[in-house]
Structure 1
């Protein structure tokens, strides 16, 4: 099954025609129809996947599971100082992060 065929199939299930999906994804006129003859860009595929609530891998035929994957980033508090940790939308001060690390170590300083 081609990318275009998968898009048609899932669009039909959701009650959309390709023009509607194209418009909701904010693509140029007839962009999805052009994928019959050329490969779509990753950004355009991402936009369509978002509209249809499926994964890009599903549209590409890499999986038969249409559900989008929502993996959360993994941050190691002990090693990773490149991320700004937040709580309730506010950055956690460095001294509070150190206290949290100490609590997670069982109260030990290292």
Structure 2
């Protein structure tokens, strides 16, 4: 139950990050458009501001995606270790199935 709650929080954080990123990009685009429209002679400055804001938002997005990949790899390794521990008998070390209630070699019961 605790794991599903933490995954829900991660999903909510990802959704909020996406919403704020889109809102930030839209605000930056509106500000740049107003700047260019008001100061028509400064189109080079407006273009530079647009490129810089897009690069910054892309960099932030890339950082978040990299963190997500690292967490995925870490959780995969952690799940693999847990899976390996669940497949052996704690008393004799015999390999057992996932639906087995007792060890076929030594007879130890599992809860």
TM-score if structure 1 supplies the norm length? 0.20
- Highest CA radius of gyration, 1 or 2? 2
TM-score if structure 2 supplies the norm length? 0.20
Comparing both chains, which one has the higher relative contact order based on Cα–Cα distances under 8 Å and sequence gaps of 6 or more? 1
The structure richer in helix per residue is 2
